[in-house]
């Protein structure tokens, strides 16, 4: 019964409102929101005083002479910009200038597709927009989604899924992708067989914590993340997408490790991780309602990622030791490539 109902119960047609601000450490004086189906853009701003918004196809090409929108109060404002290509914005307000783009990409065929850009480090630097993207499966992307990704343009894709997952749901990729890297990590497998195996566990929360410990300690996982960072540190790789099936466990741990390498504090890393709970709800809510025992498999909880973080600290003394000594991360290079 489970095998035949799993895919049928997922509602892919609902649209969810933009989530409340959980982005601690992400610049939230303003943000860009895109409708995942129409791809129309809006500016949400929470600030008083005169402000101006400028736009361009890249950060470098932003036209800073002619604003596309001006105002002097908080609110949500529709933006008359292309719906087929990604646009970058600069907000000028109170003698400050902030680069903006949509954090949650408008993928009609995806749910947990996010830009790591805009996140602040402990030193006050900002992760560059349009370089590092995390995602769930790419097998359901629409023609419009692919066209949108081509405008970035995405160069590389890293796929953490196991072989049975990739065979069942092969990626749909834009022609701009020149490099694809299958780096299978089996903990976190959300194939039907993997889900059924997880449901046999007596305590699924305990199992999910154990899985996160495995992601940072199992030799095969460590080897996979070492390869992952070697690719990310190649200056020809970005803009790149790394993804798994839900974009929350394997891609979630990869994101956490990247953000730690870039100097982001632990609570901000955790808040970014917890956003998967919001973005994946449309994908899995109907299924969880029918199989409530499966909820922990399809969501994120603070204790899951924390279990992996604590394992790193127990085994290596600090996250930085793990990154530099075990995963061979060149911290200076990472920050040069991916921080403004």
* Average pLDDT for runs of 10 along the chain of length 340: 29 41 53 96 92 95 96 95 96 91 97 97 96 97 97 97 93 97 82 56 85 96 98 96 96 98 98 96 86 87 98 98 98 97
Q: Is residue 303 part of a domain?
A: yes
Helices (H) and strands (E) counted in the chain, each on its own, are 12, 12
**Do 91 and 169 have their domain in common?**
no
Interhelix angle 331-338/250-261, rounded to 10 degrees, is: 100
Does 36 map to a domain? Answer: yes
Residues 126 and 45 in one domain: no
**Per-residue model confidence (pLDDT) at position 287:** 81
Q: Would you say residue 283 lies in a domain?
A: yes
- The confidence score (pLDDT) of residue 37 equals 95
Query: Using omega within 30 degrees of 0 as the cis cutoff, is the peptide bond preceding 153 cis?
Result: yes
Backbone CA torsion sign across 292, 294, 297, 303:
positive
Are 78 and 195 contained in the same domain?
Answer: no
**Residue 19 maps to a domain:** no
pLDDT of residue 195: 56
pLDDT at 316: 98
pLDDT given at position 191: 55
- What local confidence, expressed as pLDDT, does residue 297 receive? 87
């Amino acid at each position: 019964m489970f095998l035949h109902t799993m895919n049928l119960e997922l509602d892919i047609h609902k649209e969810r409102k933009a989530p409340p601000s959980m982005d601690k450490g992400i610049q939230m004086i303003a943000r860009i929101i895109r409708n995942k189906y129409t791809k129309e853009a809006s500016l949400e701003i929470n600030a008083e005083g005169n402000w101006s918004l400028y736009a361009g196809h890249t950060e470098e090409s932003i036209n800073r002479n002619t604003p596309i929108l001006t105002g002097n109060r908080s609110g949500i404002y529709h933006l008359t910009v292309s719906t087929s290509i990604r646009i970058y914005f600069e907000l000028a307000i109170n003698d400050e200038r902030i680069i903006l783009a949509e954090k949650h990409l408008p993928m009609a065929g995806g749910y947990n597709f996010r830009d790591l850009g805009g996140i602040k480090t402990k030193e006050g630097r900002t992760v560059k927009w349009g370089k590092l993207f995390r995602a769930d499966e790419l097998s359901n992307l629409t023609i419009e989604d692919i066209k949108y990704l081509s405008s970035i343009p995405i160069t590389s894709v890293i796929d953490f899924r196991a072989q049975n997952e990739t065979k069942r749901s092969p990626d749909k990729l834009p022609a701009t992708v020149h490099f694809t890297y299958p780096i299978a990590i089996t903990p976190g497998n959300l194939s039907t067989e993997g889900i059924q195996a997880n449901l046999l566990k007596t305590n699924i929360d305990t199992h999910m914590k154990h899985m996160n410990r495995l992601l940072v300690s199992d030799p095969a996982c460590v080897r996979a993340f070492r390869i992952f960072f070697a690719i990310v540190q190649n200056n020809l790789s970005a803009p790149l997408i790394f993804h798994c099936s839900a974009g929350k466990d394997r891609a979630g741990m990869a994101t956490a490790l990247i953000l730690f390498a870039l100097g982001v504090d632990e609570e901000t890393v955790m808040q970014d991780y917890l956003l998967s709970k919001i973005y994946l709800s449309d994908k899995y809510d109907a299924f969880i309602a029918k199989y409530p025992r499966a909820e922990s498999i399809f969501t994120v909880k603070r204790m899951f990622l924390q279990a992996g973080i604590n394992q790193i600290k127990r085994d290596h003394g600090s996250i930085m030791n793990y990154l530099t000594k075990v995963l061979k991360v060149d911290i200076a290079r990472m920050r040069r490539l991916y921080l403004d």
